[in-house]
Amino acid sequence: MPINKRHIFLFIGISILSALPYSCWGQDYEYIQYTTKDGLPSNYVYGVVEDEDGYIWAYTENGLSKFDGYTFQNFTTEDGLPGNDVTYAEKDAHGIIWLNIYRHGITYVDH
């Protein structure tokens, strides 16, 4: 029996449909969700920045938080911030972390 185009398309269609359930499996990523119970100043984090030393800085509505992988060290107006609502942070080419603080303007993290 000669193979014609109809047989080829049927074979390709069956191959695609039989592989489809296996290609839909996604990967499950492991992650840890940190909250105020773990030491964050707020459960709502605007974003994070990593500094030159590998510390993660989370900026929130209740201050800035430095995370070393185990514990959080929080900074607020009591520690020298002009305000607690840190809405944005970014690291520049020199490794300085600049902060935008709601209603107080721009400042930077001084180690």
Q: What is the DSSP string of 39-92?
A: T-S-S-EEEEEE-TTS-EEEEETTEEEEE-SS-EEEE-GGGT-S-S-EEEEEE-
Contact assessment for residue 60 and residue 36, using Cβ atoms and an 8 Å cutoff: no
Distance CA 75, CA 34 (A): 17
61-111 confidence digits (pLDDT tens): 999 999 999 999 999 999 999 999 999 999 999 999 999 999 999 999 876
Distance CA 76, CA 9 (A): 66
Residue of 39, 41, 58 whose CA lies nearest to 49: 58
pLDDT score at 28 = 79
Kindly report the pTM of this predicted structure. Answer: 0.72
